[in-house]
Amino acid sequence: MAHVIDFKEAGFDTLLDELQWRGLISQSTDRERLADALNGEPITYYCGFDPTAPSLHIGNLVQLINMRHLQAAGHHPIALVGGATGLIGDPRQSGERTLNPKDVVARWAERLRAQIGGILQTEGDNPVRFVSNYDWTADMTVIDFLRDVGKNFRLGTMLAKDTVARRLSSEDGISFTEFSYQVLQGNDYLHLFDEYGCTLQLGGNDQWGNLTSGLDLIHKVRGVDVNVFTSPIITDAQGKKFGKSEGNAVWIDGTMLSPYRFYQFWFNRPDAEMESLLKAFTFLPKAEIERLIEQTRTNPGVREAQRALAWEVTSLVHGEAATQAAIDASSALFGHGDLAAIDEDTLQAALDGLKVESEDGSKAFAGARPGERVAEAGVRAGLFKSISEARKTIRSGGVYLNNTRVDDEEQLLGDGDFLHGRFALIRRGKRSLGVVETR
């Protein structure tokens, strides 16, 4: 698990100063009050994660990183996995959510708890506490909900929330179910305030309206001012949000997005994004981040910042062993390592982009069998336009089978050429790759 440097050790006067420098705070309650809370005795804070999918994504990872900064500073974290709110889902920017069965939500909640536990400290003298809002809402009757909670919310305020207002003006509108989400989340904050003395809630910038619902509820019924702050929404170079509702989620579950592809995602980020991503997604100290940014400006071809970013984030999520395996696989594909040493799952993930299009438009690995010529397999894998072109390239010494040069234009594929009994990697020159899978 990545080491988190104390904010004073990192050269900041306060924790809030560091979070702001890293771009991890977008909106907040009164900054002076928030700074005093974070600089004083340890407080209890929480962030909610709804199991509306079987995995968290990098948008959620920002919240977990914020939680780790606070945890490292001695504040006490609560991770709320929404067993109740996950059955509803917070309102999206457009379109009503599909409600998932209760058993699916419960199964996804377990997976999210395991993912959160891989990022936050779960042992020691300040472990994360896991809670589910299903525990305090499941037995609440409709009458109790309306009398004890709903009466404290004003319709005008609820309608003015940004996401609600946007949905109301859309063609789809918004259902009472999703409209009520902010009431449930507000009640969560009140419950955690009463039960654990929780006085700070974190969330993404699109959650501001839901976060302030709890803030207002606690002020109204308990007469106490608590705090919230949000982090910016992470977007790609085109300004598009990385999230499951947008169809381009970068999952942190290794079965949904392999560690290899996760590593490649970060490694392939453009130079222009390095400063913001290194600050937000790594725990590297300020001086090291500034050095990497300067290196990007003066010597971008080395891609040192991208390597550091990919190593830090992938190690945080998947561990150092899986990260090193991803690096080794990438190196081996281009002749700088042992292909046979790569485990099957990592190899398959590394080769995924080498699938070819079938007649029906789908993509799959090109097929081959032992006894077929390497030249024919290379054509099928899309490396050559014809057998004659493949043979000519072999004669000139430009074709490699599993990183071994092919000297005979009539060379056949053998059983031992299929790595893990499945894949044979053919390379043309230094950079052009193709793969065939045994049929």
- Strand runs (DSSP E) across 82-222, as ranges? 129-131, 198-204
Distance CA 276, CA 140 (A): 44
The response to whether 244 counts as a known ligand-binding position is yes
Using a 10 angstrom Cβ sphere, with 0-12 exposed, 13-18 middle and 19 or more buried, the burial of residue 307 is middle
- Both tokens assigned to 260: 């290899």
- Both tokens assigned to 317: 């999520």
∠ CA 309-313-314, nearest 5°, is 110
The response to whether 196 counts as a known ligand-binding position is no
Distance CA 324, CA 334 (A): 16
The response to whether 134 counts as a known ligand-binding position is no
Q: Is 380 helix (H, G, I), strand (E, B) or coil?
A: helix
Q: How many CA atoms lie within 13 A of 271 on its CB side?
A: 13
Give the 3-state secondary structure percentages of the chain, helix then strand then coil, rounded to 5: 50, 15, 35
Distance CA 439, CA 422 (A): 8
Distance CA 87, CA 102 (A): 7
Q: What letter represents residue 435's amino acid?
A: V
- CA end-to-end distance (rounded Å), the chain: 41
Residue 119 Ramachandran class (φ > 0 left, ψ -120 to 50 alpha, else beta): alpha
Q: Is 336 helix (H, G, I), strand (E, B) or coil?
A: coil
Spatial strand order of the sheet with 399-401 comes to 366-368, 432-438, 423-428, 399-401, 404-405
Q: Is 59 helix (H, G, I), strand (E, B) or coil?
A: helix
The response to whether 46 counts as a known ligand-binding position is yes
Binding positions for ATP: 244
**Which residues contribute to the annotated binding site?**
46, 181, 185, 244
Extract the annotated binding site for L-tyrosine. Answer: 46, 181, 185
